[in-house]
């Protein structure tokens, strides 16, 4: 059995792309490209939904700073200007 037949059989049996890649000794990208080529040649491969990226809890909850946090991070422009003016040599 050649690699195209193996990919077709495993794909249609519901194996994950990762599992197919391990079975045929290729990368996942290679398996996906082979699947595209097979389809273009008219080989039936069961349709699949695109893989969803699993979001981590940290990336799904955006925390905005409180007004107090924003105020504490603001630069004191007058203090910086006077410090710079005092450090200048004329």
Per-residue confidence in pLDDT tens, the chain, 90 aa: 899 999 999 999 999 999 999 999 999 999 999 999 999 999 999 998 766 665 555 556 677 778 887 777 777 777 777 778 876 655
pLDDT of residue 51: 62
Q: What is the pTM of this model?
A: 0.55
Class of domain 1-48: mainly alpha
pLDDT of residue 76: 72
pLDDT of residue 81: 78
Domain boundaries defined on the chain: 1-48
Please enumerate, as own/partner, the contacts of 42-48 that have beta carbons within 8 Å and a separation of 24 or more: 43/4, 43/8, 44/12, 45/8, 45/11, 45/12, 46/11, 46/12, 46/14
């Amino acid at each position: 059995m050649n690699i195209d037949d193996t990919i077709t059989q495993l794909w249609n049996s519901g194996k994950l792309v990762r599992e197919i890649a391990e079975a045929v000794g290729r990368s996942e990208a290679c398996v996906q490209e082979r699947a595209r080529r097979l389809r273009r040649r008219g080989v039936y491969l069961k349709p699949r939904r695109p893989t969803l990226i699993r979001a981590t809890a940290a990336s799904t909850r955006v925390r905005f700073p409180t007004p107090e946090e924003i105020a504490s991070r603001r630069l004191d422009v007058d203090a910086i200007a006077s410090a710079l003016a005092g450090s200048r040599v004329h």
